[in-house]
Amino acid sequence: MLARLMIDSMVHQTTVLIAGLSTAAGIRAPLAHVADQVFLDLSRAIEEQGVSRKVVADMFGMALRTYQKKVQRLAESSTASHRTLWEAVLDYLEAHGTVSRTQLLRRFGADGEENVAAVLNDLVESGALERKGRGAQTSYTLRSTESVARARRSGDRDELATLVWVLLYRRRGGTLDELTTLLGRPRAELDQALRQLADDGRIVASGPPDAPFWQTATFVVPVGASTGWASAVIDHYQTVCNAIVAKLLSRGSQSHADDVIGGATLGFDVYPGHPHEQQVYALLRTVRRDVNQLWSQVAEYNREHPVPEAQKRKVYFYFGQTVQDNSDVASGLIAAPSPTPEENP
């Protein structure tokens, strides 16, 4: 029963995170593939724990043959490109400039007039489009200039490169084929990202030139960087999840004073003018400064005294801070806080 409650709670919080990411900064990310991707990733992860396919199928409430067919079907289509009507309309306007409502309804007729109208209204309200005229004379123009559009595409390339960088760091290297399978992006895009990282000196290649194995020793997104935030979020979330799993697989939920795997979550109740308000708000800045100082010392020592690969032990330290009002919890944007300090994995 406890495991079921934990799973349900974590699934809910993960969906809240996905909801935030899918609508961040006016973006409407495609979600049609999410349920299938969750099934495929979850089934693979359970099998990697040593559980037989027959048992995994039963955990999903399926017959073995049904389970095997679904895994095969999803695996074959996992690298397919997924796009939303929202994205397609934006791309069409970027390519054609000012476009009439009639032209847009004709171009996306297969998606239904009601759906197209809803997307256009959303884009106008979010500030992405400018609308002029009424009725049949209505026209739409992308507010972004071509230079801004080019900058956006450049930013996307930088974000993809940073995501590749963090994956290589976490997986201790990989090939172009492996990255293509993991990310489901075109090989040409990923190859360009690898070359960009190599030119910047962030990754190095080994092995045959026609199928190099790419590696990196570090992954850092500086404070204030304009790109890399997505990869930083993924890196942080993955570290938290890995720490929880490691805790569960080692000694369960019980904590000990000498633990090197684990964490703690503490909530501070303050108000404007509280005598400790500024100390609490400065906590993240203080911890970041101390951690960065120690990280720099370790990195400098390791440059002069390389760590033997066979003896290497990576220690991940994650920390974060957020501020919430009761209205945030009531709206469902975030999970309700724990009333007292809690030891967490």
- Which tens digit of pLDDT belongs to each residue from 262-293? 778 888 999 999 999 999 999 999 998 999 89
Mean pLDDT (the chain) is 78
| Structure tokens belonging to residue 196 | 């960009």
pLDDT of residue 333: 47
Residue 30 pLDDT level (bands cut at 50, 70, 90): low
Closest-CA residue to 38 (of 63, 1, 10): 10
CATH number for the region 85-144 comes to 1.10.10.10
Helix, strand or coil, per DSSP, at residue 224 = coil
| Cβ atoms of residues 70 and 39 within 8 Å | yes
**Alpha carbon 138 to its chain's center:** 38
CATH number at 154-250:
1.10.10.10
Angle at 58 between CA 52 and CA 64, to 5 degrees: 70
In this prediction, residue 343 carries a pLDDT of: 43
For residue 169, count other CB atoms closer than 10 A to its CB: 20
CA 341 to chain centre: 28
0.85 exceeded by the pTM?
Answer: no
CA 295 to chain centre: 24
CA dist., res. 40 & res. 73, Å (int): 10
Q: State how far the Cα of 81 lies from the Cα of 170, in Å rounded to an integer.
A: 25
